[in-house]
Structure 1
């Protein structure tokens, strides 16, 4: 069975975090999986974000990032993960914030490819900034991700940004009392409970 983007893959609560979480087991060299290694998966991510993403109403319809813009998009993903992961850990890393701002700028300053229709490109940029209404041509995934990251930099409330103890994904805790532990209780929470139950059953003396 092939890989598919499901609702669980959009547990981050913000587009920029969902993009950062496209790397599975990021810090496990032997089992690490980068879902964006497959160009088709990047295209499919935009469509799935339209269905499951927490910010889908903010950006409107998302379209895949153009092929020639994807290096900058991946650079943005990595800078996003480094900065916000350090932020959760309360590490004082202004260099990572600078890297993220540079990555955002690299995405937003990229000109439209030669020969492309200028009106559509301008409309797309304006749509991403919320400057026009009416029918939208679609916001490129990389542009929307850059704006999502900018919104996060201005900051969720303290304690809202967390790292899932099961999968190590970044997520926003939108619960009223900031009590959420897992990125997705139905997946990571249940897996953790199952592991604890298994360990207890192994440790309990047999009658």
Structure 2
């Protein structure tokens, strides 16, 4: 089955969150899909992040993580998800911060990519470190529809969904369907 990284897959607002969101339906064991389980999808993620990612100007051209560092990227992804999900729920978890910082340090200790490019794992580590130091933690939210992590960059911090065109529309359609179904019963 082929998969394409669309702009919607980069709704997190930061590369580290987009990497964390590469697991679809994370909390549904029967339907969970790990997009990075396929090495080709992991490679194409870096290419798509160059087109759609919110931090593409910050990092310049991303190249895929080296094959030997893919496990480190997965470890960073999981530490990022756990820490920022707890932070999004206003849970103080120093142990999760320590795990995140350890994953970041492990990646940043790797030899840099030769040339003017940065690897996906190094860029994601820098992104996660910036997010961890962000003085506005209330901008981090969890989408009530898909449970993806995202940054609310709206002026009044009222953004509800990771992507209005996808999750917002799905939520509104479900609400409309339920309302019409209830009216038919009455």
- Using structure 2 for the length normalisation, give the TM-score: 0.96
Give the greater-gyration-radius structure (CA): 1
Report the number of matched residues.
186
Query: 1 CA distance for matches of 2:184 and 2:57?
Result: 54
Say if 2:30 is the partner of 1:30.
yes
Which residue matches 2:77?
Answer: 77
Q: 1:169 aligns with which of 120, 142, 148?
A: 148
Say if 2:89 is the partner of 1:89.
yes
Compared with structure 1, are the counterparts of its residues 100 and 180 closer, same or farther at alpha carbon in structure 2 (3 Å cutoff)?
same
Which residue matches 1:8?
Answer: 8
Deviations 1:7-36 (A, max 9, x none): 000000000000000000000000000000
Say if 2:138 is the partner of 1:159.
yes
* Runs of 4 or more above 2 Å deviation: none
Say if 2:43 is the partner of 1:43.
yes
Give the gaps of 5 or more residues in structure 1. Answer: 113-119, 125-135
Which residue matches 2:110?
Answer: 110
Q: 2:119 aligns with which of 140, 144, 151?
A: 140
Say if 2:56 is the partner of 1:56.
yes
Which residue matches 1:197?
Answer: 176
8 Å Cα contact 2:87-2:137 kept in structure 1: no
Compared with structure 1, are the counterparts of its residues 111 and 139 closer, same or farther at alpha carbon in structure 2 (3 Å cutoff)?
closer
Query: 2 CA distance for matches of 1:76 and 1:30?
Result: 24
- Using structure 1 for the length normalisation, give the TM-score: 0.87
User: Equivalent residue of 1:17, what SS?
Assistant: helix
User: Equivalent residue of 1:74, what SS?
Assistant: helix
Query: 2 CA distance for matches of 1:33 and 1:156?
Result: 32
**C-alpha displacement at 1:156, in angstroms?**
5.0
User: Equivalent residue of 1:177, what SS?
Assistant: coil
Which residue matches 1:182?
Answer: 161
Which residue matches 1:131?
Answer: none
**C-alpha displacement at 1:202, in angstroms?**
1.0
Deviations 1:55-84 (A, max 9, x none): 000000000000001111100000000000
Give the gaps of 5 or more residues in structure 2. Answer: none
Deviations 1:96-119 (A, max 9, x none): 00000000011111246xxxxxxx
Once the two structures are overlaid, the 10-residue window that deviates more, 148-157 or 188-197, is 148-157
